[in-house]
Amino acid sequence: MHLTLAPMEGVVDSLMRDMLTHIGGFDLCVTEFIRIVDQLLPSRVYQRICPELENGGRTQAGVPVKIQLLGHEPNWLAENAARAIDLGSHGIDLNFGCPAKTVNKSRGGAVLLQEPETLFQIISQVRKAVPKEKILSAKMRLGFNDTSLAIENAQAIAEAGADLLVIHARTKLDGYKPPAYWDWIARIKRSVDIDIVANGEIWSKQDAVNCQLISNCENLMVGRGALALPNLAQVIKGSQLSMEWEEVRLLLVKYSGYEIFGDKGRYFPNRLKQWLGYLKIQYPQAGQLFSQVRCLKSADEIIAVVKSF
């Protein structure tokens, strides 16, 4: 089984990737998306989103990291994909799944699932720019408003030359509301000759087993579940029991102890609060801690509360 840590915009940054891959169980990470519009972005943009590039494209625990791009212009996506590879990204992932309104309004993410031909053109151009030995993957949902183009979209992605397709088993309209329709992944898998990774509503080992059986996919991507249960990857692989709260509390202290400055210092409070929001799904104590920090805006104040909790 191959487990990928999902790209979660605004949540899973390099600090979170470092922490979760040190815990273990993940075989690959995908970055938050880099938005591509009408230019070749400078190297510093990639290095800011993926500082692991300075470590051979791997986290400190040695897990490879793949850069994700989002946009709708095939040629600019191709040029930027080539740059990401040159900088050390372990392949390229293309985002056709983001449901955010601001992203969709600019023809990025899930809105492109209404345009199978555009998907084909994007993948085709990026494939030409990415060496054959580097994996080109895409992430899609089952559709925008419905599933009517699900199979056609997957076929367009496969026929254009992608090596792998991650399927989040919900439409954009579904958002993140349960359930995830894993049976649709199995239907799509039967229609394409490409490796498929299943994603959506995997919060426990039993969820992972059920997803594998219903989707007919061995390999999985997990996101929110890994934030709610930090050692979920190891639990799924059967090497550990679920973390106790005290272990999680020490992780929070460790996360708070990361060196934060510049941009990180500004967004740290919100990211820690977001993480606590996921943790309280599994741990009541996280909810208590969240109530103590939710009105705080200073990183220093929040860190002090976390350390004394």
Give the pLDDT confidence of 221-279 residue by residue, as tens digits. 999 999 999 999 999 999 889 999 999 999 998 887 775 554 555 677 888 889 999 99
Share of the chain above pLDDT 90, in %: 84
How many other CB atoms are found less than 10 A from the CB of residue 49?
20
Report the pLDDT value the prediction gives residue 304, as an integer from 0 to 100. 87
Report whether the peptide linkage leading into residue 131 is cis, meaning its omega lies within 30 degrees of zero: no
Tens of pLDDT, residue by residue over 13-26, are: 999 999 999 999 99
The predicted structure's pLDDT at residue 81: 98
Tokens of 300: 């220093």
In the chain, CATH 1.20.225.30 covers 245-308
pLDDT band at residue 303 using 50, 70 and 90 as cut-offs: confident
Summarised one tens digit per residue, pLDDT across range 167-189 is 999 999 999 999 999 999 999 99
Name the catalytic one among 98, 211, 217, 295: 98
Is 3-236 assigned to CATH 3.20.20.70?
Answer: yes
Give me the pLDDT at residue 259, please. Answer: 57
Rounded Cα gap, residues 261 and 104, in angstroms: 31
Separation CA 65–CA 52 (nearest Å): 7
Residue 266: predicted pLDDT: 65
Say what the pTM is. Answer: 0.94
Q: For residue 300, what pLDDT is reported?
A: 81
Single-letter amino acid, residue 64: P
98 has catalytic annotation:
yes
CATH topology classification for 245-308 = Bacteriocin As-48; Chain A (1.20.225)
| CATH 3.20.20.70 residue window(s) in the chain | 3-236
Q: Average of pLDDT values for 60-74?
A: 98
State how far the Cα of 200 lies from the Cα of 225, in Å rounded to an integer: 9
DSSP secondary structure letters along 167-190: EESS-TTTTT-S---HHHHHHHHH
